[in-house]
Amino acid sequence: GMMSLINDSDQCIHHELSLCHTATSRMASANPNMQNVPKTDDIRKLFISRFGEDGVLLETDYSQLEVVVLCALSQDPQMIADIKNKVDFHCKRVTLMRPQYSYEEVFQKAKKDKVQEFVDLRQKAKIFSFQRQYGAGVNKLSESTGLTKDEIRALIKNEEIVYSKVKDFYRLVEHSVNAWTAGLQDASRSSSGNYAYKGEFRVLTGTKFTFGQIERSAESLQKLQEFDKNVQPMGFLQTQIKNYPIQGFAGEIVQVMLGRLWRHFVENQNYGGKAVLTNTVHDCVWIDCRKDVVHQVAEDVKRILNSVQEVFNEKWPELKIQVPFSTETTVGTTMAGMKDIEKVEFKSSK
């Protein structure tokens, strides 16, 4: 399929990036979708530099972007401290499951000594973190991690104690969504005749996220009403309430910073035609460049992308972002062989 999309003039694939095809404002790729190339697929070996043996592919990726965004929006002091101290959040969650171990002990066992029990616990904590951020409930979290429901409830409780401002932020989003209504003129009716209203939440940059109510199933409604008799047949999805503002603001950050990066490339004439911006996959940017400029390009890209805190605080001072946004850079002769740039020395054949 992709072979038919190769441009005859330069033997490259030129995909399309859209700014308005996702609910959260993330950029979407099409014709072909270059954001969905499987990481383990041999097809990645087909993507090489346009500069041949003198070229290399470079990827710069934001580290834990959505975690840092959640921290920036919630202003949680403990999370701010942990990010600044470069804490491994998955190891820290293991300490909430196994309080008899210190963070340093868990990190040593899971990351350095590779003790299988702690490697497995860290992986479970990672799954828990990802799915909880997308609004998964106790049952789903238990099913996907293998932890018991009681263990999941205890982990949620402990996490809310440690990062209390995060819980407050989600409450703020939920309150805003439920309090705001577009009125009957913007409402629709469900198949059973109930009005489905819209809710809204805005981040301080002015970006607005709109939520639409859905009709709960009879089974779901019954379960919810066991805890709260006032729960209505129509409601907003918790997964969207938790996910949209975080993923959306992360997407906005990427767009702003890629705009600055693009201007830098234009001003420098693509490093004399030696480097080209080629793709972005949610929280990273891909660049095709010659080996003799790869380290300069990597240094400039890192400097620009890492300046989120300064750029956004200058433009929107009310954000008061207190955490750094860091990146990691890898390089390779194909998409399948990417390595840490600090461990690679490229020499041009010319």
Segment 60-64 mean pLDDT: 95
For residue 29, the SS3 value is strand
Please give the C-alpha separations between residue 39 and each of 42, 58, 219, 335, 341, in angstroms, as whole numbers: 9, 15, 39, 9, 19
Using the predicted structure, report yes or no on whether residue 347 has a pLDDT greater than 90: no
Query: Which pLDDT belongs to residue 24?
Result: 81
Using the predicted structure, report yes or no on whether residue 248 has a pLDDT greater than 70: yes
Instruction: Name the average pLDDT for the chain.
Output: 88
Query: Which pLDDT belongs to residue 96?
Result: 95
Segment 329-333 mean pLDDT: 95
Please say whether the beta carbons of 23 and 250 come within 8 A: no
Tens of pLDDT, residues 116-156 = 999 999 999 999 998 888 778 898 999 999 999 999 999 99
Q: How many helices, marked H, and strands, marked E, lie in the chain?
A: 13, 13
pLDDT band at residue 180 using 50, 70 and 90 as cut-offs:
low
- Among 334, 226, 328, smallest CA distance to 283 is for 328
Tens of pLDDT, residues 65-112 = 999 999 999 999 999 999 999 999 999 999 999 999 999 999 999 999
Percentage with pLDDT > 90 across the chain: 61
For residue 198, the SS3 value is strand
Tens of pLDDT, residues 273-294 = 999 999 999 899 999 999 999 9
Least confident of 171-175, 233-237, 280-284: 233-237
Query: Which pLDDT belongs to residue 292?
Result: 94
Segment 327-340 mean pLDDT: 92
Please give the C-alpha separations between residue 118 and each of 90, 91, 106, 114, 130, in angstroms, as whole numbers: 11, 9, 7, 7, 18
Neighbours of 263 (CB within 10 A): 11
Give me the amino acid identity at 36: N
Between 53 and 198, whose confidence is greater? 53
CA 120 to chain centre: 23
Segment 41-50 mean pLDDT: 85
Using the predicted structure, report yes or no on whether residue 11 has a pLDDT greater than 90: no
* Residue 161, both tokens: 């104690």
Segment 239-244 mean pLDDT: 88
Neighbours of 247 (CB within 10 A): 24
Query: Which pLDDT belongs to residue 78?
Result: 97
Instruction: Please give the domain boundaries of the chain with CATH numbers for all domains.
Output: 21-27+35-67+249-343 (3.30.70.370), 77-162 (no CATH)
Between 225 and 235, whose confidence is greater? 235
What pTM does this model have? Answer: 0.87
Using the predicted structure, report yes or no on whether residue 182 has a pLDDT greater than 90: no
